[in-house]
Each structure stands twice: as C-alpha cells, then as structure tokens.
Structure 1
C-alpha cells in the first residue's frame, strides 16, 4: 500500500485553462519523474506491445497524421511526434465524438533528468460541457490519468501489471487521487463548496460504495 501511495505523491497536479479549435478548454496537468532513461520511457509510450500493458491495446496508423484507436473506445489523430521528446494527439470518446473536432487533446513532453532519469509532463486539454466539469471537476479525467501513470510506473519497474491491487488499495488510491485533484481545483480558484462536491462525486464514480 505504501508503494502505491508513494507513486501518487510523486505526481504534481495542476488545473488550468487553454484554447482548442472548438473553444475554451480546461486542462489537467500531471508532472513527475520516472527513474528510467528518456528512450526507454518513449518506447513505453509508443511501442504498442508495451503501451497495452499500462494504457490499453492500440491499433491504427501510428505515425504523424495517422489515426489510432484504443480498446476502451478512445481514438484520435497523431498531431505531433518528435522522438523522444513530444507526442501530441487528439483524444476523442466514442463514435459520436467524430462530430466534435478539436474538443480534446493530450500532449506528453519528456526531458532527460540529471541522473539518467526522465521528467514526464502530460497535459490533457478538453472543451468540457455539462455535466462533466460542473459535477466532477478536474478529477473527471485526472483520476483516470493517475491510475494509468501508476500502471506505467509499475511497468517501468519490471511488473507485468497482471496482478491487480486489492479493492482496499484501489479505493484508497482513488480517494486520495480525487482529493489531490480537489486541491488542484481549489488552488486554481475553485469555490470550496463546488470543489468538495466534485471530489465526492469523482470518488463515487471511480470507487462506488459496494453497499
């Protein structure tokens, strides 16, 4: 359990705003260090065999201008690819998202660290309408990315990610992740009452009470 929560604490989270072709966007931003070289981390992000072990199985034309699809329904276009430092994609959900161009983009930036490690930065910008942001705040996407980055850390540490955490560990991780995104939301100027309600809703969505 301590290792899982240490991974959660390793990430710095911020919420911001940005602009996409479809309009004003919210951003969730995650920054952390991985104890591996930049080429290895880039390979984990772009090699389909490794990508499926921490994100989801991927298919498509995996080169700039090509399109991709994940096993969970997310899909998009590869907008920018500069190995081993920058990868940017559009990030859409479900078939109806094809009618909403420019509504969601994910950019990952890597930089070599001073000790053979790598600085990792992920920015997910999305034009979010009711009820997602008003109900869940940045945790709507932020908790999901925290879970994926935990799996990435495990992969880089040599685990195969086939052993799931216990229900208690998973629920505690989600609870603390949602609370951390609540802190980022409040630091960005969120109303405390709205923030508290969003944290509660996000926690219930990702880790519903079995009762």
Structure 2
C-alpha cells in the first residue's frame, strides 16, 4: 500500500445531525493533526495564493463579510473569522443550494503541531442522502485534507491533479475513503444495508470500475 493511501488512517470521521432554522441538517466532521504550527495552517487555508496550491484557485474578498468563489466549485460568504482558530463560511453550489456551511477549527498542540477540524453542515435532499450518505461530501473533503497535508509537509501538492485522480493510487484512496465514511455512517446509527448501498453508490461515483474490468468483490459491511 502506498504512503498516500496510508494517510486515510490519519483522519477521524464522524456523522451526525443538527437543527438549523431551515430544518434538520446533516453533519460530517473530519479531524486530523498536522505537523505544522497553527499560524502556518491558518495561512494555508486563508491565503488565496496558498489555497490554490493544494485545493482550488479562489477569487473574491477573503475577509469577514466578504464573498469568495472557488474555481468550478462552491462559493459563499465569510461568516466568522478568528485568526488563527476559527473560520466559518457559507458553502453554496448550484442555482438552489439551500443551507450549507463549512467551519474549520484549529487547535495548537505544542509549538509545531495543529489539530485541524473541518465540519460541513448542510440541509441535504433526502433522496440524495439516501443514495450516497455522508461519503458524497466526505470523500471530497478527505481529498482536500490529503492535499493540505502534502502541501504543509513539502510545499508542493500533486503535480498533475487531473492525471492523479484517475490513477490506481487515487482510486484506491477514494475507495478506502468511501468505506471509512460507511463505518462512520453506521456508527451514527444507520442500518448496515443502508450503509452498504451508500458506500457502493459513492465508490462508483468517485472511482467507477475501469472500462472492461470486473467489479471488485465487496463486503456487505463497509470497512469490515
């Protein structure tokens, strides 16, 4: 197994719900510790030039009350900004996005380590959640945290992200991520058969079988 795929074990994942004015929201939480101080991690997550090196190009007014837009992805408003500990933004995509927010929390652990938490809270259409479960956004955030970790360690991210995302290594990483989100989903109280269906749909979306290849055998219980 490659070192990159091993990084899947660096992340703690949790699935839950939260009441918001718009209704009941689904939550996914990722927690990982980086070998970097909190100021460095904060700058990597808030400086437009640095964000583009490990995530996506971003434009806009990146300050409290300002609006941002990630290239080809979400946009929104900076709702809370407390350097170097707390960043909360609305996370809107499409014509009718509904309620969706992302909060990043940083906690120093000594002088050169930082506990990084990312929580995505969104009111999700039931039919979408029933099909994909938490992995729909969870796998994407796993990829983002992987990119941030590589960048903080080396100053570089994946040199050719588009080529890497169709590599065997990336497919294995995304498949493992989907399974781990299944484990977190079941821990939240979801039925095993519901979890298995969601894991299969999420894995097929992110890492569909290569043309002409046989579908891999999978356990009925993701992560087993």
Report what 1:85 is aligned to.
85
2:136 to 134, 140, 162: 140
Report what 2:216 is aligned to.
none
Report what 1:125 is aligned to.
121
More divergent stretch after superposition (50-59 vs 199-208): 50-59
Aligned pairs for 1:1-211 within 5 A: 1-97=1-97, 100=98, 103-114=99-110, 116-158=112-154, 159-164=156-161, 165=164, 167-211=167-211
SS in 2 for 1:169: helix
8 Å contact from structure 2 (residues 147, 157) kept in 1 = no
Runs of at least 4 residues of structure 1 off by over 4 A? none
- TM-score between the two structures when normalised by the length of structure 1: 0.94
Q: Distance in 1 between matches of 2:54 and 2:26?
A: 25
Q: Distance in 1 between matches of 2:112 and 2:157?
A: 23
8 Å contact from structure 1 (residues 53, 161) kept in 2 = no
8 Å contact from structure 2 (residues 133, 198) kept in 1 = yes
SS in 2 for 1:96: coil
Q: Distance in 2 between matches of 1:105 and 1:9?
A: 25
Q: Distance in 2 between matches of 1:68 and 1:95?
A: 16
Displacement of 1:115 in angstroms is 5.1
- TM-score between the two structures when normalised by the length of structure 2: 0.89
Q: Distance in 2 between matches of 1:80 and 1:70?
A: 18
Displacement of 1:132 in angstroms is 1.8
Displacement of 1:188 in angstroms is 0.4
More divergent stretch after superposition (76-85 vs 150-159): 150-159
More divergent stretch after superposition (3-12 vs 79-88): 3-12
**Residue correspondences, number:** 207
Displacement of 1:7 in angstroms is 1.4
Please list every run of 5 or more consecutive structure 1 residues that lacks an aligned counterpart in the other structure.
Answer: none
Q: Distance in 1 between matches of 2:72 and 2:3?
A: 27
